[in-house]
Amino acid sequence: MLTFVGLGLFDEFDITLKGLREVKGADVVYLETYTSPLVGTNVERLEKLYEKSVHVLSREEVEGALAEKILMEALHKKVVLLSGGDPMVSTTHVGLRLRAHEMGVKTKIIHAPSIMSAVCGITGLQNYKFGRSATIPFPYEVDGKKVVYETPYDVVKENIQRGLHTLLYLDVGERMMTINEGVSLLFEIAEKKGDEEFCKLLGVGIARAGSDEAFAKASELAQLMEIEFPDPPHILVITGRLHFMEKDALIVFCDAQIT
Amino acid sequence: MLTFVGLGLFDEFDITLKGLREVKGADVVYLETYTSPLVGTNVERLEKLYEKSVHVLSREEVEGALAEKILMEALHKKVVLLSGGDPMVSTTHVGLRLRAHEMGVKTKIIHAPSIMSAVCGITGLQNYKFGRSATIPFPYEVDGKKVVYETPYDVVKENIQRGLHTLLYLDVGERMMTINEGVSLLFEIAEKKGDEEFCKLLGVGIARAGSDEAFAKASELAQLMEIEFPDPPHILVITGRLHFMEKDALIVFCDAQIT
């Protein structure tokens, strides 16, 4: 049996009682940190809580040929794979679960808190007012030329047209992208498209969701770029049409200077 | 201090360790069940786990004038308000949190697993492929005439046009709506609009998410309406354009008969 157990938003106490029970009952516990890095905790603290050792997996061992090893093990052992947030939201996990089924390995998911729903609580923005979400990746190089991915900008514009909010995930690849970096990347695209109104959109920057230092600030994107947020993880919301209660919530919960 | 603590998806073990710690440390614990009814547990089982009494609140006591009572209490006591799923997704909680701030009551949110992200894991559908979501309410009467709310249908069509999936919440008001009822209400609108293709859309019905009896079945809506699902809670997804890995996932995880 391969059980995907979510660690939730921030530290080792964001796992559910059900998740902890699975970990305690597992023959072997793996941890995958590259789809969502540990922030408020570390392997030692997890091991102390679980009273068993936690093996950190490389990307190769989850996605690559080496994944076979875990799956073979899961044929006759209770294997738990820990990951941040709610598991299986990442395609990486979907791929692994598909391979497990091909090999006749049973799978199970123990859900955990996810930023997807947490943003609603933190900001007071209503979940049915969110359009599709997108991720802002770090720029990459093609033939020595810097390329800034345009899809996040397009998704925001598409949602705005419909009066919808956009949840923007920030790249956690080589390092964790900040809100400031994310906004400035969007501005590069806006500038390229001659979109001078873009910087006036109302954004909400959220840092360290799920922790006691959780911080949310709403303002025009131009100002948001100047704000010093607590350390990442960061996430960005760009708002569409606001319901009056959403407006009140942004003023009260996110210090928005709107009327 | 008023702390909103989420109970998560199904039973008393879907709360996080952080949530349980808040409940154990609270002076008084309230439970609100009308935005999301308890299914896999009951008040007695919660009280046994928490080793303290849990007071169930009426709608009036959360939304109405009676809410003052709780807020006054929270001025000088540690008050926990339990609710299903991830708290504060419901506007009811946003309203209460706003009133708390007006009265100078500090608030905190302890997040929990939500169906919003769980559907991705259960179905293998990718979160950034979901457009806006909607709720299918029970029909209501105006001047003795039955009215079926059209917005959910419109939202599905709008998302489909853009190749996006739609998460459809089912009414939990007087009782919990089933997938079959939800689909047939959508069909009433589709028929009214002369939309004969609607019944051919690929839907995914999910029952009892987060439980061991969790069940997901993907098929054309016309067939989905005939399927006997386990008892509610139910939720419905109508798919847009499918990535090949999403297709594989629906076949393997949700028994879809697609090629």
Q: What is the model's pLDDT at position B243?
A: 96
- Picking from B113, B136, B163, the residue at the C-terminal end of a domain is B113
User: Does residue A251 or residue A61 have the better pLDDT?
Assistant: A251
- Model's pTM, two decimal places? 0.96
Listed in sequence order, the residues at least 6 apart from B253 whose beta carbon sits closer than 8 Å to its beta carbon are A97, A101, B122, B123, B124, B216
Q: What is the model's pLDDT at position A47?
A: 98
Q: What is the model's pLDDT at position A2?
A: 97
Angle between helices A91-102 and A67-76 (to 10 degrees): 50
Rounded to whole angstroms, the Cα distance separating B94 from B74 reads: 16
Residue A29 confidence (pLDDT) above 90:
yes
Write down the H helix ranges in chain A. 17-24, 43-50, 59-63, 67-76, 91-102, 115-123, 151-161, 179-192, 221-224, 244-254
Based on the domain organization, do B147 and B241 belong to the same domain? yes
Write the pLDDT tens digit of every residue in A124-153: 999 999 999 999 999 999 999 999 999 999
pLDDT-derived band of residue A60, with 50, 70 and 90 as boundaries? Answer: confident
The CATH number that applies at residue A6 is 3.40.1010.10
Q: How close is the nearest chain B Cα to the Cα of A84, in Å? A: 12
Based on the domain organization, do B89 and B162 belong to the same domain? no
Domain enclosing residue A221, as ranges:
116-254
Based on the domain organization, do B130 and B96 belong to the same domain? no
Rounded to whole angstroms, the Cα distance separating B213 from A128 reads: 27
Write the pLDDT tens digit of every residue in A178-216: 999 999 999 999 999 999 999 999 999 999 999 998 999
Q: What is the model's pLDDT at position B63?
A: 86
Q: What is the model's pLDDT at position A23?
A: 98
Residues of A with CB below 8 A from B255's CB? none
Looking at the domain assignment, is residue A259 inside a domain? no
Chain-chain contact of A130 with B132 (C-beta, under 8 angstroms): yes
Which of B13, B89, B122 faces A117 most closely, judged by CB atoms?
A: B89
Which of A17, A128, A245 faces B132 most closely, judged by CB atoms?
A: A128
Residue B39 confidence (pLDDT) above 80:
yes
Task: Provide the 3-class DSSP secondary structure of residue A182.
Answer: helix
Q: What is the model's pLDDT at position A116?
A: 93
Looking at the domain assignment, is residue A233 inside a domain? yes
Looking at the domain assignment, is residue B259 inside a domain? no
Based on the domain organization, do B133 and B67 belong to the same domain? no
Region B95-120 average pLDDT: 96
Looking at the domain assignment, is residue B229 inside a domain? yes
Q: How close is the nearest chain B Cα to the Cα of A214, in Å? A: 10
Based on the domain organization, do B40 and B137 belong to the same domain? no
Which of B98, B118, B249 faces A111 most closely, judged by CB atoms?
A: B118
Q: What is the model's pLDDT at position B88?
A: 78
Based on the domain organization, do B90 and B171 belong to the same domain? no
Based on the domain organization, do B102 and B161 belong to the same domain? no
Its sign, for the CA torsion A74, A80, A84, A86, is positive
Which of B126, B133, B209 faces A128 most closely, judged by CB atoms?
A: B133
**Percent of chain A scoring above 90 in pLDDT:** 90
ipTM of the complex: 0.95
pLDDT-derived band of residue B167, with 50, 70 and 90 as boundaries? Answer: very high
A contact test, residue of B111, B208, B211, B243 with most A CBs within 10 A = B111
- Lowest average pLDDT, out of A39-48, A104-113, B47-56, B65-74, goes to B65-74
Residue A87 confidence (pLDDT) above 80:
yes
Based on the domain organization, do B47 and B120 belong to the same domain? no
A contact test, residue of B117, B171, B251 with most A CBs within 10 A = B117
pLDDT-derived band of residue B149, with 50, 70 and 90 as boundaries? Answer: very high
Based on the domain organization, do A11 and A93 belong to the same domain? yes
Q: What is the model's pLDDT at position B90?
A: 81
Nearest to A207 by CA among A181, A173, A174: A181
The CATH number that applies at residue A169 is 3.30.950.10
Based on the domain organization, do B63 and B138 belong to the same domain? no
**Percent of chain B scoring above 90 in pLDDT:** 90
Based on the domain organization, do A121 and A230 belong to the same domain? yes
- Picking from A113, A128, A157, the residue at the C-terminal end of a domain is A113
Virtual torsion, Cα A48, A62, B253, B247, nearest 10 deg: 150
Residue B222 confidence (pLDDT) above 90:
yes
Into how many domains does chain B fold?
A: 2
Its sign, for the CA torsion A203, A207, A213, A214, is positive
Based on the domain organization, do A7 and A97 belong to the same domain? yes
Chain-chain contact of B109 with A121 (C-beta, under 8 angstroms): yes
Residue B98 confidence (pLDDT) above 80:
yes
- Picking from B97, B113, B129, the residue at the C-terminal end of a domain is B113
Chain-chain contact of A118 with B111 (C-beta, under 8 angstroms): yes
